[in-house]
Amino acid sequence: MNTASIIRLSGVTKQFGKFRAVSNMTLEIEPGQVVGFVGANGAGKTTTISMLLGFLGTSQGEIELFGETILPSNAHMAHRQIGYAAGDMELPGQLTGAQYLAFLRHQRKSGSDEQYQALLKRFSPQLNKKISALSRGNKQKIALVAAFVGEPDLVVLDEPTSGLDPVMQDAFLDLVRGYKQSGKTIFMSSHYLQEVMDVCDRVILMSHGKVVEDVQTSQLLAMGGKHVSILTGYKATKPPKAAESIEVSEDRGVLRLEFVYKSDMAELQRWVAAVKQLHDIEISEYNLEEAFKSLYQTEETA
Amino acid sequence: MIGSVFAKTLYDKRYFTLGWTIALGAIAALMVAFYPAMHQDGSIDALVKSMPPAFQGLVGSLSDLTQFDTYIAAQLFDIRLPLIAGIMSIILGLGLSVSDEEKGELRTLLSLPISRSKLFIQRWLALLLILAITLVGLVAGMYAVMPFIEEADIDIDVLARLLGMTGLMMVTYGTIPFAVGIATGKRAAATAVSIAVIIGSFLLSTFASAVDWLKDYEPLSLLHYFPAVDIVRDGIQWSDVMVLGSITVVLLVLALVAFRRRDIA
């Protein structure tokens, strides 16, 4: 194990009665990494983050943050260096945004006024209204300012952009890119795979409480390709050798052949030219969103 | 600036504190204002004497009506306050323990560098201060009316004793839902235990004087340790202080141990 890891989970399991939300999870995250944490609803992402922050204790295994074992009773020690925001986060409704951020800055006791002002300028949150009177998006802006204020060494984000408009989503992603440049660590769960691909160095896919993929973003980018769909009257048509995720169906004597193609494009062109009785053809980008959906589905059916 | 959980709790509960301070003040003022009627009108004596013994328990001892200090001890501190302030303490205890967790705000607070112990202690200290402020309202209500009422005068030592024990009783009442709520995170459990204690104590102490078989169980009532009229006459029994204080301390210790370990919803 790398002792320099900022986050380390060793055989972590979380059981709620008979339901095992996280099962024997082991992973390490080094300082300076921006890690995306993805998975379908109920995969165990939020439970993992809740254990990381000490809201939940582990049923088995050990969690270390900054080299210290984390328990519900001592998690606050690590929180001096951690910023946190969640899409469904409930901020203290009785306070105004300004009061909450002042309270938080007082607790965290770090960070410059310049950085705070820059965050306010970036997100333009409504600070003078009671938080309970704000829309979800406006609450989320305050939560994001709160997560990054004081420049914590680790920022943990649980679906941070849900509720944000596209402009604010861009502002957030821009902030993450800048934060990454400063060598800080971000651990971020998201359903928006494109944003994960945009800013993360590494992607961890979770399913049914287990890590099923842990890859560098560059490896995932290689998963891109073309989605090909043809309609042909020649029922003996075979897909090219490099085709993946092949689906074949037939309707009123017409064969529908769909597949993903990531190999040589000239080869694909030659294959298309050779298809007999071609009725229709559609070739589109096979983006990473689709690649992930197929991974989700593979895991769901497994 | 709101810089601590203690200050934030007081700020969050400002309207609650103001409302209950005014309410307790108004009740105290009314009770003082009724003194001449209770004191001078013989028909009330006759009415009370005609009641069954169990109902007399609800009204208080007639002999207590002759002096202002025993009148106020019996009618305000002994009969009404345990129920009214008890309900207030329970609402407050629940508000400071389970409400934040139900709303999801507890996680937000605990994501900051605030330890569970610190949050627990500062919340309970805020409970203490809020209850003290409401008692100030009670005293203010009494003193607002007393100058206008003939023979309405109470020795400051007697009042201090009554307030001290009332405060302790309210703290014990408030600590029960606070402790159960923060230890379990479950409103239903905290509410059920608290209501069982307050209503059970009230019924037990009220009817024990009339129902023979209940007398043996009367020490189980928290009100057994808050004999307001006896406090006026004989002073505070330190054994009563020990019982209420011990219940409070034991509950706090158990709740803190549980809260430091448990999962936060």
Architecture of the domain delimited by A7-221: 3-Layer(aba) Sandwich (3.40)
Tell me if chain A has a CB within 8 Å of the CB of B257. no
Mark yes or no for CB contact B103/A103 under 8 Å. Answer: no
Mean of the per-residue pLDDT values for chain B?
Answer: 89
Of A226, A220, A222, A252, nearest in space to A239 by CA = A226
Closest chain A residue to B260 measured between Cα atoms? A73
Tell me if chain B has a CB within 8 Å of the CB of A137. no
Contacts of A75 in chain B (CB under 8 A): 110
Contacts of A70 in chain B (CB under 8 A): none
B153 or B5, higher pLDDT:
B5
Tell me if chain A has a CB within 8 Å of the CB of B246. no
Instruction: Tell me which residue in B12, B108, B262 faces A94 most closely, judged by beta carbons.
Output: B12
Tell me if chain B has a CB within 8 Å of the CB of A234. no
Instruction: Tell me which residue in B111, B118, B260 faces A84 most closely, judged by beta carbons.
Output: B111
- Domain total in chain B: 1
Closest chain A residue to B4 measured between Cα atoms? A103
Closest chain A residue to B99 measured between Cα atoms? A92
Residue B26 has pLDDT above 90, yes or no: yes
B194 Cα to chain A: minimum distance (Å): 26
Q: Write the CB contacts of B113 (distance below 8 Å, at least 6 apart in sequence).
A: A76, A77, A79, A80, A107, A108, A109
- What pLDDT was estimated at residue A196? 86
Tell me if chain B has a CB within 8 Å of the CB of A84. yes
Give the model's confidence band at B196: pLDDT under 50 very low, under 70 low, under 90 confident, else very high: very high
Q: Write the CB contacts of B152 (distance below 8 Å, at least 6 apart in sequence).
A: B32, B35, B68, B145, B146
- What pLDDT was estimated at residue A192? 79
Tell me if chain A has a CB within 8 Å of the CB of B262. yes
Tell me if chain B has a CB within 8 Å of the CB of A57. yes
Instruction: State the residue range of the domain holding B232.
Output: 5-261
Mark yes or no for CB contact B110/A54 under 8 Å. Answer: yes
Could you list the pLDDT tens digit for every one of the 302 residues in chain A? 445 899 999 999 999 998 999 999 999 999 999 999 988 888 899 999 999 999 999 999 999 999 999 999 999 999 999 999 998 899 999 999 999 999 999 998 877 889 999 999 999 999 999 999 999 999 999 999 999 999 999 999 999 988 888 899 899 999 999 998 888 999 999 887 778 888 999 999 888 899 888 888 887 777 667 889 999 999 999 999 989 889 999 988 899 999 988 888 889 999 999 999 999 999 887 766 666 666 666 655 55
Where in chain A are the domains?
A: 7-221, 225-286
**Cβ density class A208-236: b for 16+ within 10 Å, e for less:** bbbbbbeeebeebeebebebbebbbeeee
Residue B191 has pLDDT above 60, yes or no: yes
Residue B28 and residue B38: Cα distance in Å, rounded? 15
Query: For the whole model, what pTM was predicted?
Result: 0.84
- What pLDDT was estimated at residue A1? 44
| H helices present in B146-237, as ranges | 156-184, 187-207, 212-215, 228-234
Contacts of B183 in chain A (CB under 8 A): none
| Fold adopted by A225-286 | Alpha-Beta Plaits (3.30.70)
Of B169, B166, B158, nearest in space to B235 by CA = B158
Burial, A161: exposed, middle or buried (Cβ in 10 Å; 0-12, 13-18, 19+)?
Answer: buried
Give the model's confidence band at B58: pLDDT under 50 very low, under 70 low, under 90 confident, else very high: low
Overall residue count recorded for chain A in this entry: 302
- What pLDDT was estimated at residue A198? 85
Average pLDDT, stretch B33-44? Answer: 75
Mark yes or no for CB contact B8/A103 under 8 Å. Answer: yes
Closest chain B residue to A78 measured between Cα atoms? B113
- What pLDDT was estimated at residue A298? 60
Mark yes or no for CB contact B112/A104 under 8 Å. Answer: yes
Mark yes or no for CB contact A102/B111 under 8 Å. Answer: no
Instruction: Tell me which residue in A92, A99, A107 faces B113 most closely, judged by beta carbons.
Output: A107
Tell me if chain A has a CB within 8 Å of the CB of B15. no
A47 Cα to chain B: minimum distance (Å): 11
A90 Cα to chain B: minimum distance (Å): 5
DSSP letter for each residue of A219-283? HHHTT-EEEEEEEES-TT----TT-EEEEEEEETTEEEEEEEE-S-HHHHHHHHHH-TTEEEEEE
Tell me if chain A has a CB within 8 Å of the CB of B215. no
Mark yes or no for CB contact B112/A79 under 8 Å. Answer: yes
Mark yes or no for CB contact A73/B261 under 8 Å. Answer: yes
